[in-house]
Amino acid sequence: MRSSLSVLVYSSNANTRAEVLRAAGTRPAADLPPITWRECATLPALLRTLERDHIDACVLDAESTPAGGMGVCRQIKNEVFRCPPVLLLIARPQDAWLAGWSQADDTLTSPVDPLACAASLAALLRARPARPAGS
């Protein structure tokens, strides 16, 4: 088992990023290694991070501006080789159909429920593809 997992959280709102970090914590499940969090507030920063670093999962805020998490999710799912699984933070349960369009792997409604966040993130991390050798 690796020493840590890398999870990227994207939101233009620093409070939303902090809410996700508090909710998921540093270890969403006992059978998983601790999380090293990467925070991005802009689409260019997110794209650079995905290109440069190995990321095991992403949490994207659908309400980010100017680039919303739904469009960002669809973009990275179609453009990033071996795109990590994505947990999409949505404002309303009714937005789940749009999350399907965005190709998100799972959704979570805001405000973030800590138990639901940890469970969803842990499930995505368990199901992620194995890291290629040498990365």
- Cα distance between residue 102 and residue 86, in whole Å: 10
pLDDT at 2 over 80: no
Assess if residue 132 is contained within a domain.
no
Assess if residue 98 is contained within a domain.
yes
Q: Report pLDDT digits (tens) over 84-126.
A: 999 999 998 888 888 888 999 999 998 999 999 999 999 999 9
Assess if residue 135 is contained within a domain.
no
Assess if residue 133 is contained within a domain.
no
To the nearest whole number, what is the mean pLDDT of the chain? Answer: 92
Model's pTM, two decimal places?
Answer: 0.91
Assess if residue 46 is contained within a domain.
yes
74 lies in which domain range?
A: 5-127
Count: domains in the chain: 1
Q: Extract the tokens encoding 129.
A: 């593809």
Q: Extract the tokens encoding 127.
A: 């199901």
Q: How far apart are the first and last CA of the chain?
A: 14
CATH of the domain at 52: 3.40.50.2300
Q: Report pLDDT digits (tens) over 36-52.
A: 999 999 999 999 999 99
